Structure 1
Amino acid sequence: MPPWTYTTGYDLRGEIALLWGVLRAATKYEGLLLFTGRGRFKPEVLAVFLLSFLPRRWRPTIVFCGEAWEPNSEWRAVIDRIIVRFVDRAISCYALLSEDETRLFPLIWGIDPAKVCFVPYMYSLTKEEMQGYVEPGAYVFAGGNSFRDYEPLVEAARMMPEQHFVFATRKLKGHPNLPRNVQAGQVPTDEYVRLLRGARVVVVPLRMGTYRASGQQTYLNAMALKKPVIVSDALGVRSYVRHGENGLVVCATPESYVEALRWTLDPRNASDVDRMIESAYQDIVQRFNPEHHARTLISIMQTLFEGSTLGRQMSCSSGEVRHDPHGYSPTPE
């Protein structure tokens, strides 16, 4: 996995360095584990596009891990399909982050379904961020920019003037009519985590009707911090959130957010909310953690190196690994 230091905003030099790093790694290693979504211009995808013109015997085994690609429109869609057609020649497996994506991805891009499987994602909090007492705050928290739709949640906040809301996002910058009980703005990563730790409830207002999953990092981190989560019923969510068991899944209308928030905040439902939180935390311990994610990817690589056909029959989400989540320090995306 060629290293790449994340920077805020657009970094052409960094993306060129990552592109070159993948090409160099392809000459030194038998296998590469790459990511589908890093960078504005997806340098790892472009590197594999270039590698696809080499004879098969000169190419390493390549596994792409991450979210599926959201289709573009008009002329960009034509270019995307040409690139993917060539990239697919060099890819042995696509390890996607939701079961919904494993069904849609081959249909959208014309890829062999046998090359696609589901690998559960993980929380990304560091050891330090996980440690210490996490006190329940007095506000409802929502954050993130990618594939978010805040407007229904803003309207829900307007319908709950007694409740304070904090939105850590740039998507509401310049909003002409935010309610007085809403605080909104982009924040640094450390502040984002601090706000997440201090929230009473975490809402992830995902955009509906997309072709790729998103938001897993936010709601899995919230589960790891034992926060009740409310997530809109977008693509991929139900691979992680079971409605009424480890979180609440809503239809993304203002009324559905209000109903879920009032139920979660009602002291009469405290025992049910606590049960839901504990169930979510057990999911984190058993499946949605760095060790399970890494072991599953390693298992895929081993299967490919052994010359076996990966196939849809391979259960990429099986083999639960139990561990103490405080013992690992993954680097946040």
Structure 2
Amino acid sequence: MAILTVGLPVNRAMPYLPESVESLLSQTCEDFRILAVVGDGSDGSLDYLYSLRDPRLRVVERPGLRLSRTLNYMLETAETPWLMRHDADDIAYPQRVERTLEYIRRHGDAGLLPALAEYFPPGQSIGTFRASRGTSDELRSIVERGYLLSFCHPAATLNIACTKKVGGYRETLNRAEDADLWWRIARSAEIRIIPETLVGYRQHGGQATTLAMKQNAIDLLYVQYLLLSELWGLRPLPQTEVVSTLEDLVTLRDLVAQENLRALNIRMAGKDRIGAMREACRAVLNSPGYVLRRLLDELDRTRVIRNGINPRRFRARQEELWPGQKPVLAVQET
């Protein structure tokens, strides 16, 4: 009996969907199910899914749902104890399911099993998805110090019971729902990293993260704000009430450099070498410090990988972020 469901959100996923689904159907291990939740299949995605005749695949139409609601729907309706995330434009390498099931058997009480991901296609894109590393205790320590964990969302596998216990995906968030879930799981359950590259993460111009990187950065800071609120015993305000302060905390030069590096990989995937070189130069000019840190993250396997800014910067804006409140507990700031 299958213990793993692959959760596949689908929203106008052509032309990448067939390659993505085929990477799942051709896994070395066949003992799993696929739950495809289609929000908008009007580009041919829905017709393609219905054309498949594989008993492991279940297609459900749920138009208009936000991603966080779609993911919670998967948690509610999956008929297995584990949910493997997969995006409709990414590639599951042949042994992804097999290796994940091995880790489930070894670490069945874990709350989260994140694998590693590289930018796709390999050889045409540069680098790996920036991911936190370490033991479960080391990952928890990052969170207790007020920082966020970094994992590739479509490379993660969730223990459904543990995920529900911490509240599932927070549907009030615009983005960064994954980073918010990671810190809540880290504080209540074990996280066991699968130290193998099992996913090809595709970057392309149609992704929401490319179109709205500044908003994504603000949303990530709001998730860190929620974490710090819990660590310090404070009551968080709605994002709309603190958004102007969060905007001030965004380092724009780093953000632009990050966008340049993303554009570099998109150019590389399109075999536009000259365009890729231009983006690399722009990234260095916009924020040499950010580019250096990103290189060190790739090359130095002893570095601590985390997201967010120094918690002291939040504390310096305490009256704006937590008006009339004082911290009950202290965070270990580093």
Q: TM-score, structure 1 length as denominator?
A: 0.25
